[in-house]
Copies of this chain bind each other. A is one copy, B any other.
Amino acid sequence: MAEDNFTVTPWEVSGNVDYGRLVKKFGTEAITDKLYDRIKKYTKDLHFLLRRRIFFSHRDLNWVFDEYDKGNRFYLYTGRGPSGHTHLGHIVPWMLTKYLQEKFDAKLWFQMTDDEKFFFNPGLSIDECSRFAYENALDVIALGFDRKKTHIFTDFDYAKTMYREAAKVAKKLTFSTTKATFGFSNETNVGSIFYTSMQSVPAFLESVKAGKNIPCLIPHAIDQDPHFRVCRDIMPRLGYYKPAAIHCRFMPGLGEGGKMSASQPNTCIFTTDSPKDAENKIIRAFTGGRATIKEQKEKGGNPDICPVFQYWAMMFEQDDRKLQEIRRKCLAGELTCGDDKRMLAEKAMAFLVSHQEKREKARDKLKDYIVKD
């Protein structure tokens, strides 16, 4: 088998991700047109992240809807590894999660994995991870999740609940499995080895709380699938349902290739960036444009390799007709990269101003969302 030109693990995404190949490699299923249609039956419209196949893969999504049809309603689970401030790439799966919460009136468990980030990052302290966890929670709240139906927690501050449930998973999970799944070695620290047990808990926590089995649907970026593959193997052995999942692509960074990553702050827009900083980053972005304006006008740009176009598609232009128009003008050479970036920067700055205002207001609401032991 040919070597892949990309790497996707829960801790590293690099190279040119071939999503079709990734579906095969991970053993997930591509979302078919029929399945998109089924979603639409429940939601009336299709969220732009679904229409545009940004969410493209799943596990057991048909099952979760079969159960729903029988009156066995699902809850949602997603999360965030708080190793720094939230960036735009993190928000993509949360947008769909919010939409699913609204359309299905679903409860949400939102896990801040401060323990994960502590275990896997030599330079991070628990206090730093915890601090970022609560900072990130402000972004979640700012997006407008239903405060009556949303529980946000950090693994450390909810550890009395979490450790007891994680222990049940840990007892069924061997080092051998974590080694095969994540490529761990004998030199891996035992916190990292244990960690998948913690990430598994919210996949059955609502069932624990309710005292009966409740289906769980996890919207997440596909790099986290290995954790849930392990989790799904263990759940039936604990008497719980396997969680279903719906997977999204990665938002690219503003450079050439690679996903948006906090470790490359110049090509990453944080929700805490000043609008001016965000504008500067966008203006300096890599694009699918030609070397000269003359050439651009003659041959047109290439939106398919252009992060600026991706940002329109994944976040800033939710109207399909308008998005098509941007694409058409780019391809036709009618839109220069400079103009395109300035348009995007305007949108991004407006988003940041509005988001940051909501984010500050969220500080007072934090206590309504956070669960602790």
Contact = CB atoms under 8 A, between A and B. Distances in A.
Interface in A143-199: 155-160, 162-164, 167-168, 170-176, 178-179, 184-191, 193-194, 196-197
A118 B156 contact: no
A189 B172 contact: yes
Contacts of A364: none
Contact of A160 (B115, B118, B160, B178): B160
A119 interface: yes
A184 B272 CA distance: 46
B160 A157 contact: yes
Interface residues of A, number: 37
B184 A175 contact: yes
Contact of A188 (B157, B163, B175, B196): B175
A319 interface: no
B190 A186 contact: no
Contacts of A160: 156-160, 373
A126 interface: yes
A126 to B, nearest CB: 6
A184 B176 CA distance: 11
A350 to B, nearest CB: 40
Contacts of A184: 175
B171 A175 contact: no
Given A119-B170, A159-B159, A190 B175 contact: yes
Interface string A83-121: 000000000000000000000000000000001001100
Nearest to A187: B174
B159 A163 contact: yes
Given A115-B167, A167-B119, A174 B156 contact: no
A171 B157 contact: no
Contacts of A115: 163, 167
Contacts of A172: 189
Nearest to A163: B159
Name, among A156, A162, A188, A193, the residue most crowded by chain B CB atoms within 10 Å (CB to CB): A193
Given A164-B126, A167-B118, A373-B373, A174 B159 contact: no
Contact of A189 (B157, B170, B191): B170
Interface string A188-228: 11110110110000000000000000000000000000000
Contacts of A187: 174-176
9 contacts: A115-B163, A159-B163, A162-B163, A175-B184, A175-B193, A178-B190, A190-B196, A191-B194, A193-B194
Interface of A: 115, 118-119, 126, 155-160, 162-164, 167-168, 170-176, 178-179, 184-191, 193-194, 196-197, 373
- Closest A-B pairs by Cβ, 3 of them: A170-B191, A194-B194, A159-B163
